[in-house]
Structure 1
Amino acid sequence: MPVHRSGTVQSARSRLTAAGTLLAALSLLLTLPGAASADDGTDFPERGTARMGQGVLAHDGQQGGVTPAGTTAVQTEGVDVSGHQGNVAWPTLWNSGVKWAYVKATEGTYYKNEYFAQQYNGSYNVGMIRGSYHFATPNTTSGAAQANYFVDNGGGWSRDGKTLPGVLDIEWNPYGAQCYGKTQAAMVAWIRDFVNTYKARTGRDAVIYTATSWWKDCTGNNASFGTTNPLWVARYNSTVGELPAGWGFYTIWQYTSSGPTVGDHNHFNGALDRVQALANG
């Protein structure tokens, strides 16, 4: 008697189809805001919570080095803030000598800082020169898409003498692989897509915030941005250490995450009139 296997085959196919659908759904879920797990069980923070310098202490925080050219200039104190700080005591910071500030505006194309208005306007109202920054997630959308989202949500620039050009915060991925799953060439292309779009929208070259070791690992120490984009380098030490390739000096140095009032404190490499010059373009 012949054996009929059509039902068995059909059942197996159904199970495979269901399994494929489930895997696709899980893959999509992991790319959405709030996803916080990895294959090895590692817990990641909620999307949107990333902040400037989040990975520095873990990866690059305690390494000194040779002080590069330009660090003998007068340094002007500044801070960077994000939603983690909530409502910031700007008069206290101003009275302590802080003269400029950068505020997180956006992350990816899915997050806007809920405290942005208090932080951005509050720093301006006490007399600070201020700007905004974007935390990049190169594995979620294109550089152009994120630059446009940034400009549309607080990252623009105006020639009022009090607004600094926007910052691309490109550093360790707090949600997974440190280079966001990109090759070095693909990462360079993504950064270029962002900064080119930002300049087309605002007329200004974005400042690039990064750390030297991340830049080496994830861009191959690419030297092509040093002549156009001011450098904001992260290094929590008494000296700024080695800079990424292409930059002969830093514009801003984030030197600590444990400063007074607001943790992240920075030196602008020049007197206040140099901060004003960057604001004026």
Structure 2
Amino acid sequence: MSRIERGRRPLRTALAVAAMALPWTVVNAGPATAADYSKAADDTAGSQIAVHEGVQGGPARADLAGGQALGHDVSGHQGPVDWAKAAASGAQFAYVKATEGTGYVSPHFAQQYNGAQKAGLIRGAYHFARPDLSSGAAQAEYFIAHGGAWRKGGTTLPGALDVEYNPYGDACYGKSPADMTAWIADFASTYLAKQHRSAIIYTSTSWWKRCTGNTARFGDTNPLWLARYAPAIGELPAGWDKQSIWQFARDGGLPGDQNYYNGPISRVQALARGA
């Protein structure tokens, strides 16, 4: 509280009334400002990576012979999904966008998430990170409370943190590499403490280098879901010697984006069980 506020009780009262009248605002001595979620419906896993890094093709299925499980990721952008059709086309797992920041829940999450399980897919939820709005811990808790919780039973993958280019401005959300690394660690440690599972980290190598300084901090603790739209997966971020999931294509005619798990469906099942 400023010295001006301490000496002017009517102003403090007026601000308190404003706080009650305007949800999702921060009230202080200046004008109230609302968190911007205007692009949240279109913020999908890789939407900003495709904009900043482009699409250079994708792998031929023959190049991946040897049993890599096919999966999709979707968000509210896709609307209701026909998971039975996706399963018939070969999909075995799915990730569904649940939340963004601490103020957005996908309106199609329930249909997409529960529908994937009903169609026989192993499914998980992901959170679109907004390090510009609140702490990693606050966003992990919001994610868990709105669909990101892990459940025993072998049908739920651990939650994923989608951390990529900022759709609203500066690519690194105005954070230094050290601060961004600390933010991700805050999210990851909170998710682990609450769910007893390590969150998967979704990112691209280029963004990771630019915004975390290519930290190797998470390679031994958090599985990697890498986005790269090219014939080969290429260089991995520091700390990881392999990816768990490769998002290799955007909206390929099937629901959502396309991914390969780095191994057969039995490895996806093991990840869901916590093995």
SS of alignment partner, residue 75 of structure 1? coil
SS of alignment partner, residue 214 of structure 1? helix
How many pairs does the alignment contain?
Answer: 242
The answer to whether the aligner puts 1:54 opposite 2:47 as a matched pair is: yes
Letter in 1 for 2:35: L
Structure 1 residue 54 displacement after superposition: 0.8
Match of 2:35 among 27, 32, 35: 32
Residues 17-72 of structure 1, C-alpha deviations (whole Å, 9 max, x = no match): xxxx9x943xx53x5234xxxxxxxxxx53453111011222223469xxxxxx78
Counterpart CA distance in 1 for 2:176 and 2:56 is: 25
Counterpart CA distance in 1 for 2:270 and 2:264 is: 10
Superposed CA RMSD in Å reads 1.9
Which residue of structure 1 aligns with residue 103 of structure 2?
Answer: 110
The equivalences for 1:79-228 within 5 A come to: 79-228=72-221
SS of alignment partner, residue 225 of structure 2? strand
Is the 1:83–1:104 Cα contact (8 Å) retained in structure 2?
Answer: yes
Which residue of structure 1 aligns with residue 22 of structure 2?
Answer: none
Identity among equivalent pairs (%)? 54
Letter in 2 for 1:148: E
Structure 1 residue 261 displacement after superposition: 2.1
Counterpart CA distance in 2 for 1:88 and 1:250 is: 27
Is the 2:75–2:96 Cα contact (8 Å) retained in structure 1?
Answer: yes
CA separation of 1:48 and 1:139: change in aligned 2, threshold 3 A: farther
Ranges in structure 2 where 5+ consecutive residues have no aligned partner: 1-26, 58-63
Counterpart CA distance in 2 for 1:24 and 1:180 is: 22
Is the 1:50–1:135 Cα contact (8 Å) retained in structure 2?
Answer: yes
Which residue of structure 1 aligns with residue 71 of structure 2?
Answer: 78
Structure with greater Cα Rg: 1
Letter in 2 for 1:33: D
Letter in 2 for 1:97: G
Counterpart CA distance in 2 for 1:258 and 1:239 is: 18
SS of alignment partner, residue 55 of structure 1? helix
TM-score, normalisation: structure 2: 0.84
